[in-house]
Amino acid sequence: MPATQITRTMLAQIGSGNILATSGGRVYVSEDGDTVTMPVAQGYGVEVTYEPGLDLYTVRRTMTRKGVRRVKAQLERVYCEDLGEHVYRAGCWRDPWGEVPVPACTCPGDCACRTGRTPVPCGCRNHRATV
């Protein structure tokens, strides 16, 4: 699908009411069209990324301070019928998904982000560049 079609579909699945409630209608689209960012308030934002191979979404609650963006909470593999609810909850001031902490690494091996040592070839998506 072209980037504009992906973006239109994503915004339709989120719903105009959820977009208005989350960001007041402010929506920023990435150049490739796979990611939509909605600023919330005081540095917080909601980022929705389309995963084309899986036909699923990833919803992130982010915080930007002094130009540094941090992921505060993340929910992966969201189906299109649940997307609007999760975007709304990510934009809420308190308790987006129970403030689920984002793990630094999701691989089963000993990784530098967990142990502080040199990463072992584990193949997780966080370390593909170092493997």
The domain spans of the chain are: 3-100, 103-131
Most confident of 60-74, 85-99, 117-131: 60-74
For position 106, what pLDDT does the model report? 53
pTM (predicted TM-score): 0.69
Quick one: CATH architecture of 3-100?
Roll (2.30)
Longest dimension (CA), the chain: 47
Contact of 71 with 59, CB cutoff 8 Å: no
Residue 104 DSSP code? S
Q: Which two tokens stand for residue 40?
A: 């919330």
Q: Which residues of 9-18 are buried (b: 16+ CB within 10 A; e: fewer)?
A: ebbebbbeeb
> Does residue 36 sit in helix, strand or coil?
strand
Q: Which of 97, 92, 94, 93 is nearest to 78 (CA)?
A: 97
Lowest average pLDDT, out of 18-22, 57-61, 120-124, goes to 120-124
Here the contacts of 31-36 (C-beta below 8 Å, separation 24 or greater) are 31/3, 32/3, 33/2, 33/3, 33/4, 33/6, 33/7, 34/3, 34/6, 36/7, 36/10, 36/11
Average pLDDT in the 28-55 region? 90
Which helix (H) or strand (E) segment is 23 a member of?
helix 16-23
**pLDDT mean across residues, the chain:** 78
